[in-house]
Structure 1
């Protein structure tokens, strides 16, 4: 087969695939589309061992998978995306792995700052959520700069939870509520919720944890009371569009039930 014919075959496959995607998205759009999907990106280390990827590049496939998920959420009409990028509990890992995680985070922030094509294409506004002081001054400053430079984007909101655990978030919200509360005034539930790191977004409609694990691992405990939990066996870099489609179909199937529970 000549290179020209190979090229034509690839083009035909690509056109057919794009047409199939448009059909799927059109069918899904008939039903309710979630506003907010959260991800626990589990399985990066297992994927690296499975594919003989060294520590230096262990998290790169996971970053590429994240870019694909943002793209698919954008195409499906999902406005808010939250990812559990770095837990406070991750600080217990080996120092070299923590250092590599921080280096990768710094590297990707710098890539976004220098080349904002992806951010502009999908209208992404970045939020870094959690105790950012654990990142170090240079990464903290770069994260703040990226949040400032994307502040006018309103199409897609990407919340990156770093230095985060749900219990830490709740303690922080309680402390802030007490600090801001007036003398002899009872602190209400809404006062606490306003001080949550995640108050910048609606509560997640779907929480997806890759690798088949069914634990929340101290992530969004306050916000996921009525969230659909979906735990495919695929490791995070293996999570694909079809997993997203299946999650949306399950959400639409249970939509009436969730709406009824939230109203009660």
Structure 2
């Protein structure tokens, strides 16, 4: 056996040992943290991929590939800790305004990684994760749209956790669509009642609307949101130190804990996740009280 092969085998064994040690440490840390509140739903705004590439003098688009590695790590930590729902902001509607080359690079990466996610040995199947893709998917190219549909179908029987990937998404677009769908549904109901001779009930509903009563309720709107597949987030993590939502889950985060570490997304690690959970647990009682007041 050559010297090169000896070194390769040494590094393989060393990496396996390091992974086992770190995995044991994570389990110990999570066992301690599980004595406190565990967030049911964690959302991520993965901010800083382009700045990371520029900082490291990498090729354009390379930052997104490093960002994918960070995403896999964060998903592993979430599912090991017992988080049931994870939602990530993968690509916004505004991102289509970037250069065609960058948009195509992100779409190619998405195609590649979505196919990896649904392989039998993947993290998604290891943790029993069901995939949902949320957003105005009609804006995507047909190959990307079909790949996302295939992934959603392939994981439809997984039931231990849920990963929602927001693609071609904007919260304002989601809200407008939900209101439009609610109005269309209510209009169809009114027409059906009229056709069935229930004109008196229809008149009462119109009077209610004219008097300012809720003709379309909160529940009517919320059932048409993209995010009906998940509860509202308990915690939202946005990297790069930005404390803004950038048109992400505006409707759903009114009483959500926001954690904003200063690191860029490809730089986020286990310690940032650990600190986020500790801060969530420290603030959770106040947030629970706030939700009850709403």
Q: CA deviation at 1:224?
A: 0.2
Counterpart secondary structure, 1:190: helix
Q: CA deviation at 1:10?
A: 5.9
CA distance in 2, matches of 1:145, 1:136: 14
Please provide the CA RMSD for this pair. Answer: 2.0
| 1:163-202 correspondence to structure 2 within 5 Å | 163-181=168-186, 182-183=189-190, 184=202, 185=205, 186-202=215-231
Work out whether residues 118 and 125 of structure 2, in 8 Å CA contact, stay in contact via their aligned partners in 1: no
Hey, what does 1:62 align to over in structure 2?
67
Hey, what does 2:234 align to over in structure 1?
205
* Aligned mate of 1:145, from 127, 147, 150: 150
Hey, what does 1:27 align to over in structure 2?
32
| Greater Cα offset, 166-175 or 244-253 | 244-253
| 1:98-137 correspondence to structure 2 within 5 Å | 98-114=103-119, 117-137=122-142
Write the deviation string for residues 18-48 of structure 1: whole angstroms up to 9, x where unpaired: 3322221011000110000000000000111
CA distance in 1, matches of 2:15, 2:243: 39
| Greater Cα offset, 246-255 or 182-191 | 182-191
Q: CA deviation at 1:157?
A: 0.7
Question: Max radius of gyration: which structure?
Answer: 2
* Aligned mate of 2:23, from 18, 27, 44: 18
Over 3 Å counting, the alpha-carbon distance change for 1:130 and 1:10 in structure 2 is: closer
Over 3 Å counting, the alpha-carbon distance change for 1:7 and 1:88 in structure 2 is: closer
Q: CA deviation at 1:134?
A: 1.2
Aligned length: 263
Counterpart secondary structure, 2:240: helix
The two structures have a TM-score, normalised by structure 2, of: 0.84
Q: Which runs of 5+ in 2 are unaligned?
A: 1-5, 191-201, 206-214
Counterpart secondary structure, 1:222: coil
Q: Which runs of 5+ in 1 are unaligned?
A: none
CA distance in 1, matches of 2:34, 2:50: 35
Hey, what does 1:253 align to over in structure 2?
282
